[in-house]
Every structure is written in structure tokens, then in C-alpha cells.
Structure 1
Amino acid sequence: MKLTEKIAQYDKDRPWLSFEFFPPKTDQGFENLLSRIARLVTLDPLTLSITWGAGGNTKERSLELAGITQSEHGVDTILHLTCTNMKKGMIEDALRDAKARGIKTILALRGDPPRGQEHWIPTDPRFTHAVDLVRFIKTTPEFASDFCVGVAAYPDGHPDKEIEEEGEIEYLKQKIDAGGDFIITQLFYDVDGFLAWVKRVRQKGVTVPIIPGIMPIQTYASFLRMTKLCGTRVPLELMADLVPIRNDDQKVKDYGVDLAVKMIRQMIASGDIRGLHFCTLNLEKSIVRILEDLGWIGGSLKSANKLITDTPAGLDERSITPHRAADSAAVSLAVAGPQPEGEAGKGELNNAASWDDFPNGRFGDYKSPAYGETDLWGSSILSRNQAIEQWGNPRTLNDLTTMFLHHLHSKIATTPFSPTPLLPESLMIIEHLERLTKQGWWTVGSQPTINGASSTDEVVGWGPRGGYVYQKCFVECFVEQKDLEEIERKVREKGEGWVDYYAANVKGELRTTVSPEGRNAVTWGIFPGQEVAQTTIIEEESFLSWKDEAFAIWEEWASFYPPGSDERKLLDSVRNERWLLTLIHHDYSNPSALWEFLFKDGPVI
């Protein structure tokens, strides 16, 4: 059934619910998300929503996931669909596939913005804006009667900030006039501002349902990243509340639940909001808590948490009580090197709590349903203007080395691989990162060794108070093949079992010391009353997933420059010739272990 038809028939005394999910990057994460969705479906959402990656980069997974939620879970599903930078014919193919799977509702999005007027050429000139996609669906006989179409709106203004608010509202009205049936908003935290925006939209004659997008705050770091990426206004009082608790992940998560409940109650009181769209980020505990606090689902929070944390199969073999973790489990985790995963699929229930409680970064647990960053409605973090302003016009390898050094020295805020300034913990190893970068090993990821720091440490702490956190040192960089071969020789001859690596190139060749079943827990925490929580795991599937993304960034960056230009030739050659290398040292007790291995006999190269 179309969403508009379901809304018209909805007669309960609380707002209807929509849960948004994105396709995880790994097979195990995808399978475990299905279990998570099955549990959340019991909360009686009116619809589920599946995102679509920039340029259709998650096309197959998005369609597969949407088909499963539509058919196997019996919940009408909204399929997101972006229209720019899509190969010609992909829109029609996606709509036909959605139609065949019984999907009746599309959220029409622009996706990646044009990369500047000079060199950007639409892949399919029929689709340059979301309004083009809305109009196409509504006027094409093959699709017009089969889909209702939603559109996006930005109460805090579009993140591109290309036009003023009134112009943005006018453009929203154009999408509705072209056939848009409902509106879902981007995340926001200023409810007064949102309600004022709704009033202005209504004054323009827009009468379709407006569905606010709610994204509960999960961690302080992710909150800052998301609000910056989306151009979200953050009320001063919200920041005043968050800053004092920013180093206690549990308190931040609790605050996020309380804030969402308060926001929802205020919006419902306005009388114009009948539905809520939760951007879950593939996490569930905060959603359950919010709905319980609102009194919209039965049972107690304790029983709801029990649903997602019980482990019928027993504890993971690496589980350990906090009383002996510091002197046995931590040592075992740190020095044992890669460990077999064990029973396939076993981890979903066993680790569900830690997946929700702690950050899922780029190197999170590859089994987690939340593994991999969602790209927020098909929007890329890169833009041509940003590339030119911050990264210049690199024409030589030295130019690239200079750019990466400028990021290390805080002369530029980003690189194509790092959308934020250098993290404070990177300053602990900056001399080593600088040395590698000067050698032409361009570092794009790293962390220092940490041996039992307080969980409240302002630089490296995470999780609830009273705990201790640990890290193995690793560094990730792009290297030439001759340098990789030298590293391989050194690992064989002098690694003594303490050093592992993964290396891959754009062709898909993989070279590693680790077996396909091996995994490296490089960040873990020990907290009172909990099992050891492993929040950063490097293993083959997650590394290869990141490898694909990393080399795609080189390709996208090259596209910012004219065909045949020195800049494009350079960036294309780097993509085609270099290897992505991740190097891990297992001795977490020696802060200099990795660097002594690399440099004690002089430069590696």
C-alpha cells in the first residue's frame, strides 16, 4: 500500500512511526540487521525506510533490503532514490525493480550535488535535481499510478547553503507541485525553529503531510559530525547541556533519549504532526527507550533491553568479568594477535548491547548492523569547491605530500579521506605520522597505543565512567608497491609475530599476514559489570570494504579537474598504482612499539 493511503487510514491516538535503515557494508552486518529489523517491526511502525547510496553505490543492497522488509516482514517500505550522478537508465531499472518487489513509495532525492559548472556533466541530463525525479515518476505512464512520492526538506536550510530559506521553501513547493505527496525533513534539534518553518511552509500553500526526521544523539563525536555534515542548527542550551557530559558515552546517550522525548512531545502539542521518521543509524536501544518513555509500547525497559541482549548460546569465548579483565583478558586480547571468529552469526545477540552503546567507527565490528557510515540520503562529503579551496591543484607527488602534511599541521581542516581536522589523540603520534608522510606514505588513519586509560580521559576515553580503555597502535597509508614489498620483508624478518598488515590495490589484489577468519581487536574497553567491549576491529571483510571506498575517493577527487589535466592524470595514476596499507602492532603496552619497528634501523624506504 502507498504511504499516503496508509496515513489516510491511520486512526490510532498516537503519531504513526517510520524507521529508517541503511544497508551495512558487510555481509555479516547485513544479516544481523535483518534480526534487528525483525525486533523493531514488533513496535508497529507504519512504514520502514531504506536509504540509497550516492550515485547508486548501494543499489543492489538497498533493493535487496527493501524487498525483504516489504515481503518478509510485511511492512510497506519507502525506497530512497537519488537522481544525480546515476548511470543512464538506472532510475528506470530501480523503479521497475521496486515495482516488482511490491514497493509503492519512493523518497525522491537529488543526491550528490553537481561538482561545479565547468567540468560537471550530468550522467543522465534528465535528472539534475529532485524535482526532475518527482516529475518523471508522476508523468511516466509506466510508473505514475504505481508510486506515491515523498520529498526531502531542510528546516535548518540545505547543507549546501546555496540559497536562502525562502528560496529553499519555494523549491520545496515546486517539488510538491510536481507531484510530491509527502515531506520528510532532515534532522534538526531546534523544535521552535522547526515549528516556525512548518508555519511558513503551510503559508506557501503546501498541505501534504510533513514528517519530522528524528535522530537521537548517540555519541558526542557523532553528534558533532552529523550536525556539521547536515548544516544543522544547534541551540546554545543543548550544547551547554552536552559539553559537561561529552566524555561519558552513557550519559550522552541518556541525554539523547530524554531530548528526543521532549522534542516529540513539543511537536505533537503543535497539532500539525501526525507521524515521526526515526533515523535509526541501524541502532535500536535508543528507539526502544524513547517509545517506552512516551508510553507508546508496552513492557518495561528492562524487558526490552533483555530482548536485545540475552544470549541463549552462552557467552563469547573472549568474554570475561571486569574483576580479572585488567590482568588476564586485556593481555590475552592484546598479545594473541588475530583470533578466529568462531560460530558464524553467533555475535549478533551477544554483542548487540555494545554495538548500540559504543561508537561504530569506520573500523567498527564488521558483524554489527551499524557497520559503515550512512551517507545521509546519498549526499557526499566531498565538493569541488572544497577540493579546490583546501586541496589546491596537485600536479606532482610532492604536491600531494604537502597537502597531507598541511592537514597534520592544521593548515587545512580536511583531506579527501579525513572530513574533520586532526583528532587530538593523533597529536600523541604526530611526529611519526609526519615522518611517514614526508617519506611519501600518505597517512589516512591511525591511533596511538593506549594501556588502561580512564574511560573519562578527554582525549582517548569513551564509554561509561569507571572503566578503562585500551588501544593497539595502527597506521593506515597509501604506499607504492616497492615500499609494500619492503614492509613485507621487514615483517617476515623482524616482526616476530607482533606485526600484522593488510594491503590491497584498486584491482582487488589482497596481501596480508592474517588468515581470512582472523580478526584484530585494536580498541576495547573494560567497564564495571560488563563484558569486554571491542569497538574497533580490523579484519579482511571490513578492510576490503574500506579499500573500495578509499580508491573511489581518489576517482571522485580526480573528476573535479578537467579531463587530460595534470591534476587528473596525477590522481588517476595514484589510484591505479598505489596500495592501501594498514599496519598493526599487537604490543599495546609499549607506546613506541610500532614506530621502533618501522624506524629503528633507519627509514623504511
Structure 2
Amino acid sequence: MPHLTELIQAANGPFHTLEFFPPRTEPGLVNLLDRIRRFTSGSAPPLAVSITWGAGGSTAERSLDLAAQVVELGVEVILHLTCTNMPRDKVDMALTRARGLGIHNILALRGDPPRPEEYALTPPSEPDFFQHADDLVRYIRAEHGDYFCIGVAGYPTPHQDSQSMEDDLKWFKLKCDAGADFIVTQLFYDVHGFESWVRRCRDAGITQPIIPGIMPIQNFSSFRRLVNLTGCPVPNSILSHLYPIKTDDAAVKQYGARLATQMVSRLMASGLVQGVHFCTLNLEKSVRTIVENLGWAAPAAPSPEHHNRVIEEATGQLSNLSISPSEASHLAQIGLHRSPQTKPLNPPNLEDSWDEYPNGRFTDVRSPAYGEIDGWGSGIKTTSARALEAWGTPTCHNDIGNLFTAYINNDPSLPSPPTTPFSDLPLSAESSSIIPHLLKLNAKRYYTVGSQPSVDAAASEDPIHGWGPRGGYVFQKSFVEFFVPLSEVQRLEASVSKRITMYAANKKGEFRTNTEPGAVNAVTWGVFPGQEIVQSTIIEATSFMAWKEEAFDIWTDWSMLYPRGSEARNLLDTIASEWWLVSLIHHDYKDAAALWRFLETE
């Protein structure tokens, strides 16, 4: 397979590459490969497909397995590779495996910052061999010569660790001079700022091809969260368009595709770049719409096989669904189409497949995007320094309870909005009605990490509970999720009624539930003019267990901020290894107090 730089030189006109991450579920992998086939067999296939790599090698096996299957499709692969907090032999293994697969292109990334030595009472058995991405670039060159075409990440706005724009450019040039062949940038929404940055790079002597990273806006919450995590500046003109439509995922998605089309058109017209890199979030429609808008591809007609598969998936989901009687009656007549805010299921709209609207871990487990809302991956969503500043050093359960309580109260006396390791954004406005109940739970050491109040036919335009197109109504069941010791799980299990669905699991994988195997719970749904019932939040055993893995990893990541053997690390490690994650859903959505009454009186 040729180097990416050779492919770029040979490209006849504008090119694009596509980025995917390894799905968290086997059905998601099957469906992602189906999408990649459609992308690569169309009228304008991507120049290459890049596969992401979790920080510290957290997705190493899944990333390599996905790369192997994409190679089998005859598609050029760019394998991402992070290096920090990862033993050198794991890097060697990944590079050897890549060579064995015939992969010639590597995107060399730093990953999370190396763990500062002051957090370790005893030095690790092997000190971090890689401190920065340029260390990885030099290592690949030294060990593999010119076999690999090596890319590095560029930051059109300074990296959050940089002191200034000049400082950022200095370190970026060092990384390029270490042996990089091409550059893929992080996301941006200020095209003028990007163009200025490219000119500064060229003036500084950086000559490698620069491929701008374009991330179409998929929905408002994921966009807001990603901007918050990356510190990416957003022009006011974009925000002024987004805020009036922020609760309508379909409208936001359409706007995001138009905006990305305009950005790419301007970038191509500037003459500064030759192609773009699309961050897909494993979703299909936005990128397909953009390349069609640009005239790079003809509109794709779905195959009969795709039509039949979607129909079969949509109509085969009724038997185990736990929903309201009226909703079940409606679904029995029209067939179930479970994607949030999609159009009705019929042949002209098959491209609007059932998982086109990201909802993190609440979407369909068969979605390639399941469990991922912003492409950031699992684990703590901030730097070690910011985490320590925000969460302090908990040495007892009162400290943890106080942290969760401050978050729920959104204490205005604090210099910045409080966060927890499980949430980097403030509590939503709809939670105001259940704050007293959440405070009571945390006071008795039920550490809450997810919740919502019940809603009975709120207007879709409602500023607090509304979502979706105008003229509709939304419903939701009370739901709460928390960590507790096993003794509390046993108490709840003994008293829970059939009107409450309970899921519980620990880090070891032990699982308890009062539901039938395969049962699915629609927790939030909406009824809109001219559409099928839309279910934006679905909870069932498979998704709960997948989320459980990430949830306990967050406790472990949090503990690693503190010295080995310290009170803080021991406390957090104990919770991670011995406590249980519990999810409770009350199905009487007309009784707003039902779930909380059960928890406070049982």
C-alpha cells in the first residue's frame, strides 16, 4: 500500500479522508463495516480511512482488529497511535502488527500527558519512554526507517498546554522536524483563523501537507461538550444560528452539514489545502451530505439488501419493549424505528438510518456510535492538573459526598461551575425539580451519576423539557443511577416492585436485574406531527453493562491522580473494586414522585 503523501500527490482534485473509532459492541462493528463499504464503494471514495487509538492503548486490540477488517476491504488505513502512559513494548507490538497488516500510514499522537512523578510514592518499574509525540515520531523513524508515512496532529488554535501561540508553533515545528510526513489538524470552526495559522506554519518553515480536520456538528449537546473539552473557539455567528434550534436534533444536524459544506468550500478556494479529514463520530449521513453538496459524489441510492435489513431491524424489536400501552399499540401498527429524531421509515429515507443521532450510551447498542457522544473516548475528560484543582483530595466518604453535593447544588460561590469525574457539564435545567431527592441520596452515600424526572406530555417547545420538532409532545420516566455497596444492592433488590426496572453490576462483571432477558426500556420518547414515535433514551442490559465498564474505569482513573498507598487512592480503588453501579427506572411516568418516594421510604 502506498504512503498517504503519495496518494495526495496522485489525487486528481480535492480529496477527503474519514476517521472512525472502534465500536464498543459487536453489532456496532458489523454496522460500521457496512458503512465503510458504502463510503468506499461510492462515486467518490475517501483517499484513506483512519482508525483511532485510545489513550494509553485502551482500545489497542479493538483498534487493530478494526484496522485489519478495513484492510481486508482493500482500503488504505491510517492507524492512530498514542504513546504516553504506554509501555514501549506495546508500541512495538502495534507497529509490528501494523506492518503485518500492510499498513504504511501512522498518525503519531501523544495521548494523555505522562503521569507526573509527584503522584507516585515509588517509581514505576519502567519510566515513561515517550513524553511527547515527537518522541514517538523519532522512535518510529529509528526503528522502521521509511516504511511508515508518519502524520502528526496540528492545532489551529493553541493546544491547551501551550503558553502562547508562539510557544505552540515552536513545539509544533519540533514535532514536524522530527520526521513527520503529513499533518492532520484538530477540529476548528473559525476558517479565517485556520487560514492565518497555515500561513504562520509556512512562514516558520513547516512544509508538510496540512489536512484540516472537519467535525460536522451532529447535535447541540455533543457540540457544546466537545467545545468545552477542547477549548475550541466558536464564532458568534455560528452560536447565533445554533441556539434557536438547539433542542431539534434534525435541524442542528442539517445546519451542521451546511456549515461544514461552507467551511470546506472556502478552504478549497483558499488554495492553502488540497483536501480535508472528516471526523465522522461513526455516523454516516452528515459526511455523505457534505460530499454530495460539494459535488464530490453523486447521491447514493440504497441497495435492496440495505432496504431489507433496515426493515427487518425495525420490525423485529417490538416483543421485549417496555413502554406505555398507547405507545405499544401505535408501534404494533407502524413498526418500530428507534433512532432519535429520524424521519418515518420508508424507502426514500433509508439513509436516515436508526442510529444517525448520537445520544452517547443511551442510543441503540447496534449503532457504531454507541457509547460515544463526542469522539473524546472514555475516562476522565480533563487534564490531571485541572482534575486536582476541581476535585481536591478526597480521603473519606464525606469528601466524596461533598463533591457530588456541590455539583448538584451548582454552588455559585465557586470560581467555576463544579464538575465531577462523571460529568464535565453543569446539571441540566430539568433536574431542578429533583435536586432535593438527589441531595438526599448522596447524603446517605448513594453517589448519583445520572438521573431525570418524569415528564407527561410536555410541549416539544418547552424550554426545560422540550426537544425535537415544534408541535410535538415529549414524555419520560423517572430514572436514577448511582454507586452503592453490595449491602444496599441487596436491600433494593428485596424491595423493588415490578413497576421499577433495576440493573446492577460491579467491576468484576457480576450482574443482577429483575427484568426478563432481552427486555428493553424506552425511558424518553416524543410524539411529533407526521412522524413515528421517537425514542431518544433506551436502557437495557447490554448497554448498561457496556457503560458499567467505562463507569468503573472512571473511578480507577480518578484514583491514579494520587500517590500509591495514599488515603485518596485507597478510598477510590476500594469503591472501584467493591461497590456496585445501580440503575432504577420507574415506569409510572404520570406520578412524578413515585421513584423518589420508593428510594426515600424503602
Q: Structure 2 length as normaliser, TM-score?
A: 0.90
Which sits farther off after the overlay, 351-360 or 58-67?
Answer: 351-360
1:71-470 to structure 2, matched below 5 A, reads 71=72, 73-119=73-119, 125-140=128-143, 143-158=144-159, 160-299=160-299, 303=301, 311-313=310-312, 315-316=314-315, 328-329=326-327, 353=352, 355-373=354-372, 375-376=375-376, 380-411=380-411, 412-470=417-475
Distance 1:360 1:375, change over 3 A: same
- The one-letter code of the counterpart of 1:570 is L
Query: Which residue number in structure 2 is paired with residue 594 of structure 1?
Result: 595
What is the deviation of 1:131? Answer: 0.6
Pick which of 413-422 and 457-466 moved more.
Answer: 457-466
The whole-number CA distance in structure 2 between the counterparts of 1:363 and 1:377 is 15
Q: Are 2:380 and 2:557, in contact at CA under 8 Å, matched by a contact in 1?
A: no
AA aligned opposite 1:461: G
Q: 1:317-370: CA deviations, max 9, x gaps?
A: 5689xxxx9972267889xxxxxxxxxxxx9x9997364553322222111111
Aligned-pair distance for 1:387?
2.5
- What code does the residue aligned with 2:18 have? F
The one-letter amino acid of 2:36's match is: I
In structure 1, the residue matched to 2:567 is 566
Do residues 484 (structure 1) and 482 (structure 2) align?
no
Mark the runs of 5 or more structure 2 residues left unpaired by the alignment: 333-344, 412-416
Question: Per-residue displacement from partner, 1:501-545 (whole Å, max 9, x unpaired)?
Answer: 111112221111234422222122233333333222212222111
| Higher relative contact order structure (alpha carbons within 8 Å, sequence separation ≥ 6) | 1
- Report the 3-state secondary structure (helix = DSSP H, G, I; strand = E; otherwise coil) of the residue aligned with 1:571: helix
Q: Deviations over 1:434-484 (max 9, x none)?
A: 111111101001111122222232222222223322222111000011111
Q: Distance in 1 between matches of 2:384 and 2:311?
A: 51
CA deviation map 1:4-51 (0-9, x unaligned): 1211221x23x1110101111112212211111111212411100111
Equivalent position amino acid for 1:370 in 2: A
Q: Which residue of 2 aligns with 1:339?
A: none
Aligned to 1:28: 27
Structure 1: which 5+ residue stretches go unaligned? 335-346
Q: Give the equivalent residue in structure 1 for 2:530.
A: 529
Q: Which amino acid aligns with 2:128?
A: P
The 1:352–1:304 alpha-carbon spacing in structure 2 relative to 1, beyond 3 Å, is closer
Kept after mapping to 1: 8 A contact 2:162/2:168? no
Is contact 2:378–2:550 with CA below 8 Å preserved after alignment? Answer: no
CA–CA distance in 2 between the matches of 1:427 and 1:523? 18
CA deviations over 1:544-578 (Å, ceiling 9, x no partner): 11111111111111111111211111111111221
The amino acid that maps onto 1:45 is: P
Paired residue type of 1:282: N
What do the CA deviations read for 1:401-446 (whole angstroms, capped 9, x no partner)? 1111011011252101111111112212111111111111010011
Shifted more, 239-248 versus 325-334: the winner is 325-334
Alpha carbons of structure 1 residues 378 and 136: separation in structure 2 relative to 1, 3 Å: farther
Query: SS in structure 2 opposite 1:507?
Result: coil
Q: Distance in 2 between matches of 1:264 and 1:456?
A: 33
Distance 1:510 1:569, change over 3 A: same
| TM-score normalized by the length of structure 1 | 0.89
**3-state SS of the aligned residue for 1:179?**
coil
Identity %: 49
The match for 2:37 is: 38
Alpha-carbon RMSD across the aligned residues, in angstroms, is 2.6
CA distance in 1, matches of 2:307, 2:56: 36
Pick which of 546-555 and 129-138 moved more: 546-555
Structure 1 residues 120-166: Cα deviation after superposition (integer angstroms, max 9, x where no partner): 678652211111111100111xx2232111000110111x2432111
Counterpart secondary structure, 1:150: strand
Q: For the residues of structure 2 that align with 1:505 and 1:379, how far apart are their CA atoms?
A: 17
Please say if 1:471 is aligned against 2:476. Answer: yes
Whether the aligned pair in 2 keeps the contact of 1:285 and 1:356 (CA below 8 Å) is no
